[in-house]
Structures are given as C-alpha cells and as structure tokens.
Amino acid sequence: MKIQDTGKWVFALFIFALMPCFVHAQNRQAERERKKEVIQNKIQTQRFIFNARQVIPIRGRSRNVTTDNYDLKITPDTVIAYLPYFGRAYVAPMDPSKGGIQFTSTKFQYSKAVAKKGGWNIVIRPEDVSDVRQLSLSISSDGYASLQVISNHRDPISFNGVIGEK
C-alpha cells in the first residue's frame, strides 16, 4: 500500500466518522422548524398555555417555580390565570385563599404583533377583571416566553416560562 493510498483511507474514515454529526445537525434543525410551526399555529389559533418556570418580582429576588400548576391559559373566548404573586399589594383580597393572580376573563382585548427577531408580542387587556390591567407576553419562535402582569392594586411582576400544550 502506498502512502498516498493510506492518506486517502484516513481521509475517507474521517469523513465517514463525521457523517453522524451532519445527520444529527439536520435532525435538530428539522425539529426546530417543526417546533416553530407548532408554536406559530398555537399563536394563530389563540389556543395555548404559558407555563411559568420563574417568578421575577419588582422587589426582592427571583424564584424558580417548583410545580407545573402555575399557568396562563388562552383560548379565543377565555383567559384563565393561576399564577403566584410576590410583592407589594396596595389592596388586600377579601378572601385570603384568592392570593396570587387568579382570574377567569371572558371579555378581553387581544392583540398580537410579530417581533423583530421572529416570535410574537401579545398584549391582553381583561375588561371584566378588577385587579389586572394588562398581560404582556413575549414569545420566541422556540416556545420560550416572558410574561409581565400589570395590576391596578399591586406592583408589577414578571414570569419566565414556556409555551405548553393546550
């Protein structure tokens, strides 16, 4: 075997060894595209759930959410919020079990816009809820999202999370 033939074999083995990397990269890209289409469909049909993973109050430190129970459910006719709250409240709730941000709204304004780098910005203004003035969602095409809640009787609060299944 000549040295030139050995070099060809080494090069061929090197290319053959890299093939799984190329296939894996293509699979990951296809998965990202599929996920982007799923998220886009949820936003277009206005049927999705924001699952909170982190709470970021204006005052104090951020906290990770340890349960999947805290979410914001959106459908074309209803917005249901069940989110924790940490911060200053200027008016105490009459029912102590109604702490956090808990409401169901069937009368609300919903507007969405495409973000500069892909993704979406959604603003929801409930008209039949006395405490919450506005919910602002920023959603990436990968499904990661941040939510800011502006209240009439509490400090604003933010959440980081993901868009889940509905």
Q: How far apart are CA 38 and CA 139, in angstroms?
A: 13
Q: Is the pLDDT of residue 23 over 60?
A: no
Which pLDDT score, from 0 to 100, does residue 153 have? Answer: 85
Kindly indicate the confidence band of residue 111, based on its pLDDT and cuts at 50, 70 and 90.
very high
Q: How far apart are CA 33 and CA 43, in angstroms?
A: 15
Q: How far apart are CA 46 and CA 135, in angstroms?
A: 15
Mean pLDDT (the chain) is 84
Residue scoring higher pLDDT (132 or 66): 132
Given 2.40.128.410, 1.20.1090.10, 2.30.30.60, 3.40.50.150, which CATH number is that of 39-164?
2.40.128.410
Kindly indicate the confidence band of residue 139, based on its pLDDT and cuts at 50, 70 and 90.
very high
What amino acid is encoded at 139 in this protein?
I
Q: Which of 14-18, 103-107, 124-128, 130-134 has the lowest mean pLDDT?
A: 14-18
